[in-house]
């Protein structure tokens, strides 16, 4: 409670003594030891001395008695009394004291009188000691004063800190004049910076009857009140609450006696003091205060040594206590146990959180009763600020602990307390696995994109053409065609256009060719081309196995950004869960867009439970956004589901307690204990293992089948067929050219006459009978047997005829 007229004698005389001692210590240098005091006299039939005057006199007398403070100096003072609210008289009394040569003036305490004295002290530069509340002037014109009253801004901060420590969310400020609003300025501005709702009420100025105001506050259930008024008004307010049967009840208490926790209780009927009691003797130890003895009026003092305990026992506040646990069904955290017989009580449940609760109970020594939350919700806040789910159970103290996958959030932390997180997780996307796609017949082309294949072909053509031009241009690529004939001037070049293309193909296929460049320029081209083909073939070989053996899994979305940019796939969260609160309060543009989509269709986007969400993902084109640990558990057991994208947010699961619960710190220490010794990890492995799905990242590479390499055989067969047609085209082309040169007619309508027509042509090409036999043998693979035999026979006869001639 703050007030303007703080009449507390002991603190006031102590402060006054110190200030007077300082002034007179300084004034003794100038041989002045007088001090003036101006005080208001109290109205009434008998004038009473004010508390300020008593403190002033006591301080001066105390300094004079203690000769060690101001040796060889005796303090004197002049006291003037004035009527309250009489500023003119206060000015006149101040002038009278200054004419006596006082070194400082103490008082008065009322604002109008004090301001009048202050103006005179400022003009004459005489120190003025004030004991009243004073508002700081903006121009700092009052410089010659020292105020024993605390700074109003500091008092306002102190009250604000106390309100925050008590965790008040609502409060009522009651003041009697406008200065109260200035003194509590920081507190009044608190709602804009803190989550505090304030009501401002002013006491009636025309009457001292505050009962109507108190009744109005009672109807509004305003029980946290901050008063800023005078001590007189505060006393009047507190007197309003008078108990009608107080006197009779007090007499009954004084006449009663009984045994309580502290021993025998009996009271003196006159004074009301306790006459028969026991006292515990406590001592401050390492673990806190401990009882070391006892005193009683009849038995006196009895000291008992208590052996010092080693270490800290975390079971002190929870041992042998029975706690109510609220939870919610969700695999694998809390599940109903499957059994062929009816189960009751805590035996009905199993899961990760149930095992965690057993570990905590065994470590802390408490018993518990598990209750499912009635509405089946985790807990969220509606538009009116009301909570549901497990959070409401804790706020209304219907449960002591909430042991479940309860996410620690900023909003929840303001209404309940959380232990340290027992599991860390994030938010991710659950979606069904897409249908796998086989590599295809021409999958051996997949290691490189079509653009790269086109660029390789263009590079091959360009290098071959440049090699042909450079080889023709360089003189070192030409050589003597007849080295044994010195007079011959015929030179040849191996790198014809076709040979240049063949050189590029041989290098690209890592097979080489019989052609080797001789000039430096052509060797540079060949070396660069070999380096290029080395990198291309190595890259192709490295990626070929993956593209041929692994079935690619193409998902329509890969991240939260992808799912936010489309509307074909519907997505949502669990209703009234932490994930929904995250999207609802997020200021990230992507998440705001996703929440706008979900909130526009709550019936289809929001699901009641994780089971409903899984069924929707399996049966429709729907993606569920939930905690990553839950997704990990689901995907291990349902091979048709997978996690899409990475972690969106990072949070943790904690055990919830009501605000101010003494159990939170003990629960936190126990969680850290089982976390460090590995038991918490063992529990997670127990409930998350047992997957029936193949881990695709560790799956062995399967053998390649015709569906992978079928295209390669097609390319091979196509090359063979193409070579046959090219060979036939070359044969026909060569025959036509020779026929034109030898002027031999080749009929095309009857193939039977072809041998008779082309026999003279072969005579130009053969030189021996062996050549004739080879030609006949070659034709046996090309032409029908009868035609081949006729051709060979006619060729031999023609040769014999020529020899005879």
Residue positions forming the annotated binding site for L-glutamate = 405, 407, 412, 579, 627
Assign 177 to helix, strand or coil. Answer: coil
Beta pairing class for 322-327 and 367-372? parallel
How many whole angstroms separate alpha carbon 655 and alpha carbon 412? 12
Q: Are 570 and 621 in contact (CB under 8 A)?
A: yes
Q: Which DSSP category does 480 fall into? A: E
Q: Distance between terminal CA atoms of the chain? A: 148
Q: Are 24 and 31 in contact (CB under 8 A)?
A: no
Q: What residues contact residue 358 under an 8 Å CB cut-off, 6+ apart? A: none
How many whole angstroms separate alpha carbon 374 and alpha carbon 333? 18
- Measured from the Cβ of residue 422, the count of other Cβ atoms closer than 10 Å reads 25
> Cα–chain-centroid distance for residue 714?
55
Q: What residues contact residue 63 under an 8 Å CB cut-off, 6+ apart? A: 17, 20, 21, 24, 69, 70, 75
Q: Which DSSP category does 398 fall into? A: S
How many whole angstroms separate alpha carbon 402 and alpha carbon 661? 12
How many whole angstroms separate alpha carbon 420 and alpha carbon 763? 103
Token pair in block for residue 227: 């008063």
Assign 464 to helix, strand or coil. Answer: helix
Query: Binding site membership: which residues?
Result: 405, 407, 412, 579, 627
Token pair in block for residue 799: 């040769």
Q: How would DSSP label each residue in 410-426?
A: HHHHTTEEE-S-SEEEE
Reference 402, options 145, 162, 659; nearest CA is: 659
How many whole angstroms separate alpha carbon 790 and alpha carbon 754? 10
Reference 131, options 110, 151, 149; nearest CA is: 149
Q: Are 279 and 294 in contact (CB under 8 A)?
A: yes
Task: Identify the helix (H) or strand (E) that includes residue 502.
Answer: helix 497-508
HEC profile for 144-175?
CEEECCCCHHHHHHHHHHHHHHCCCCEEEEEE
Token pair in block for residue 425: 């997780």
Q: Are 583 and 563 in contact (CB under 8 A)?
A: no
Q: Are 796 and 804 in contact (CB under 8 A)?
A: no
Beta pairing class for 423-432 and 650-653? antiparallel
Question: Which residues make beta-bridge pairs with 387?
Answer: 381
Token pair in block for residue 144: 């010659």
């Amino acid at each position: 409670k703050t007030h303007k007229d703080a009449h507390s004698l002991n603190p006031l005389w102590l402060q006054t003594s110190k200030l007077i001692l300082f002034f007179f210590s300084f004034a003794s240098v100038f041989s002045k030891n007088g001090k003036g005091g101006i005080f208001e006299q109290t109205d009434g039939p008998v004038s009473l001395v004010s508390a300020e005057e008593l403190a002033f006199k006591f301080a001066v007398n105390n300094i004079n008695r203690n000769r060690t403070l101001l040796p060889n100096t005796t303090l004197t003072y002049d006291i003037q009394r004035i009527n309250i609210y009489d500023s003119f008289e206060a000015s006149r009394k101040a002038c009278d004291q200054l004419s006596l040569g006082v070194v400082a003036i103490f008082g008065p305490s009322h604002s109008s009188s004090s301001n009048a004295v202050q103006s005179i002290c400022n003009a004459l530069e005489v120190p003025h000691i004030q004991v009243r509340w004073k508002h700081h002037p903006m121009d700092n014109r009052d410089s010659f004063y020292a105020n024993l009253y605390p700074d109003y801004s500091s008092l306002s901060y102190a009250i604000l800190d106390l309100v925050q420590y008590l965790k008040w969310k609502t409060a009522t400020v009651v003041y009697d004049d406008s200065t109260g609003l200035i003194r509590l300025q920081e507190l009044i501005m608190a709602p804009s910076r803190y989550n505090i709702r304030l009501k401002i009420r002013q006491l009636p100025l025309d009457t001292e009857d505050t009962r109507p105001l108190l009744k109005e506050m009672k109807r509004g259930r305003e029980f946290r009140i901050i008063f800023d008024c005078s001590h007189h008004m505060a006393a009047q307010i507190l007197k309003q609450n008078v108990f009608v049967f107080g006197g009779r009840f007090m007499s009954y208490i004084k006449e009663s006696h009984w045994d309580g926790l502290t021993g025998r209780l009996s009271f003196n009927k006159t004074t009301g003091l306790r006459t028969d009691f026991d006292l515990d003797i406590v001592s401050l130890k390492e673990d806190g205060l401990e009882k070391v003895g006892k005193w009683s009026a009849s038995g006196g003092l009895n000291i008992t040594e208590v052996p010092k305990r080693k270490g800290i026992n975390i079971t002190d506040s929870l041992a042998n206590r029975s706690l109510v646990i609220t939870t919610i069904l969700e695999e694998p955290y809390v599940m109903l146990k499957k059994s062929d017989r009816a189960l009751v009580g805590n035996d009905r449940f199993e899961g990760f959180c149930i095992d965690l609760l057993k570990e905590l109970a065994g470590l802390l020594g408490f018993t518990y009763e598990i209750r499912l939350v009635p509405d089946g919700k985790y807990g969220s806040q509606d538009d009116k600020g009301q909570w549901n789910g497990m959070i409401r159970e804790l706020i209304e103290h219907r449960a002591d602990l909430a042991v479940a996958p309860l996410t620690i959030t900023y909003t929840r932390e303001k209404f309940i307390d959380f232990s340290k997180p027992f599991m860390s997780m994030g938010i991710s996307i659950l979606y069904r696995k897409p249908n796998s796609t086989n590599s295809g017949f021409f999958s051996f082309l997949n290691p490189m994109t079509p653009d790269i294949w086109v660029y390789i072909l263009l590079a091959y053509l360009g290098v071959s053409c440049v090699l042909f031009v450079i080889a023709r241009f360089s003189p070192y690529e030409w050589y003597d065609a007849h080295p044994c004939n010195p007079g011959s001037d015929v030179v040849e070049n191996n790198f014809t256009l076709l040979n240049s293309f063949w050189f590029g193909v041989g290098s690209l296929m890592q097979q080489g060719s019989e052609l080797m460049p001789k000039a430096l320029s052509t060797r540079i081209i060949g070396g660069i081309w070999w380096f290029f083909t080395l990198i291309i073939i190595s890259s192709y070989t490295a990626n070929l196995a993956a593209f041929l053996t692994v079935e690619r899994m193409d998902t329509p979305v890969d991240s939260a950004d992808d799912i936010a940019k489309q509307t074909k796939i519907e997505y949502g969260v669990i209703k009234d869960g932490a994930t929904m609160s995250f999207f609802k309060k997020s200021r990230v543009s992507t998440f705001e867009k996703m929440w706008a989509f979900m909130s526009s269709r709550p019936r289809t986007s929001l699901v009641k439970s994780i089971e409903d969400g899984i069924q929707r993902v399996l049966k429709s084109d729907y993606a569920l956004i939930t905690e990553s640990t839950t997704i990990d558990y689901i995907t291990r057991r349902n091979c048709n589901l997978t996690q899409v994208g990475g972690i969106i947010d990072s949070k943790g699961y904690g055990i919830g307690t009501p605000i101010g619960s003494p159990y939170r710190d003990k629960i936190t220490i126990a969680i850290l204990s089982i976390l460090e010794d590995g038991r918490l990890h063992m529990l997670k492995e127990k409930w998350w293992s047992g997957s029936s799905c193949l881990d695709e990242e560790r799956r062995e590479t399967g053998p390649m089948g015709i569906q992978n390499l079928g295209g390669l055989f097609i390319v091979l067969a196509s090359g063979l067929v193409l070579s046959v047609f090219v060979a036939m085209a070359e044969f026909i082309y060569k025959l036509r050219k020779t026929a034109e040169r030898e002027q031999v007619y080749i009929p095309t309508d009857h193939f039977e006459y072809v041998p008779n027509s082309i026999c003279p042509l072969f005579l130009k090409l053969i030189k021996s009978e062996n050549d004739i036999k080879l030609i006949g043998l070659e034709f046996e693979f090309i032409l029908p047997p009868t035609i081949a035999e006729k051709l060979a026979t006619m060729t031999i006869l023609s040769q014999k005829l020529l020899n005879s001639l």
